[in-house]
Amino acid sequence: MQTMQKGQCRLINKRGGNPLEEASWLSSFMGVVTYSKFLESQLNLSTTSEDYGAFAYLLPLKLPGQLGIPSQRKTINKCQRHHEKDKGSGSGFRSKSEYLFGKIDIQLKLVPGNSAGTVTAYYLTSLGPTHDEIDFEFLGNLSGDPYIVHTNVFTQGKGSREQQFYLWFDPTKDFHTYSILWNPQNIIFSVDGTPIRQFKNLEPNGIAFPKNQPMRIYSSLWNADDWATRGGQVKTDWSKAPFTASYRNFNAQACTWSSGASSCASSTNNSSWLNQGLDTTSQQRIQWVQKNYMIYNYCTDKKRFPQGFPPECSFNI
């Protein structure tokens, strides 16, 4: 991993591919992680470094607390602006630290209006062919149509565990809190404190669970009009650019991984989230969401799995 010096800037330029494909050269900063209010620092493309609190930024950036797909690419060379037409550009950030388990909260306000073809992604991942990954992705749509919340879990490089939901509110009008709880017992996806999905640790049943690979937190906004909206039938309308998603109030209660050791290894650690699951009320709420707002579940897709559903489907529905 290349380490950049303060004051230098780099562009992450995604041409419709996986954001992780270019992760090998992203800037990396070491140091103390702080969890004060997220993205409060003023960002200025002409002078900024990429070092802000807990995160290293992947340019281009827009306004404070925002990521954007610009109508023109902003390529930064020693923090000077240059412009070039490039509809493949995106932007994002990545945590400096790696984590092995945590409760991650972030508030997002999604791209308003006609956001078809765009994907706002918020996820944890390790790297490599056998990586683990926990995904929140928000698939843009035509004006008036609802956003689709796309979730997935990868274990040892294997994903294909998609569940998709509509939301019970307009996610472009205000900020809402999207949370990932990841502990040794389960992974729980939540929206404004309401759980929408649980992926249990079923290792005793021979089903892999992400518990050995530390992960970083990423978020990105990028063009994926080959698949994101109606299976790629609706393309990005570039006359509506720039597309902007806004972020604030990042909070992480997490086990930081450093030099092969976890910050939660201490016997004095009393983090309640490390043993948190779904209580009776939470189970009722997740059933309500899945009954009324789930629009796709890989565990019920017989056409996709004609030979039988993945084994975890017997436990995770």
Task: Pick the catalytic residue from 22, 98, 133, 312.
Answer: 133
Q: 108 with 246: CB under 8 angstroms?
A: yes
Q: 140 with 116: CB under 8 angstroms?
A: yes
What is the Cα–Cα distance from 140 to 93, expressed in whole angstroms?
20
Percent of residues in the chain assigned helix, strand, coil, to nearest 5: 15, 35, 50
Compute φ and ψ for 289, nearest 5 degrees. -60, -50
What is the Cα–Cα distance from 74 to 173, expressed in whole angstroms?
27
What is the Cα–Cα distance from 117 to 140, expressed in whole angstroms?
6
Task: Pick the catalytic residue from 22, 50, 98, 137.
Answer: 137
What is the Cα–Cα distance from 66 to 221, expressed in whole angstroms?
10
> Active-site residue 84, yes or no?
no
What is the Cα–Cα distance from 195 to 188, expressed in whole angstroms?
7
What is the Cα–Cα distance from 298 to 317, expressed in whole angstroms?
10
> Active-site residue 137, yes or no?
yes
Residues designated catalytic:
133, 137
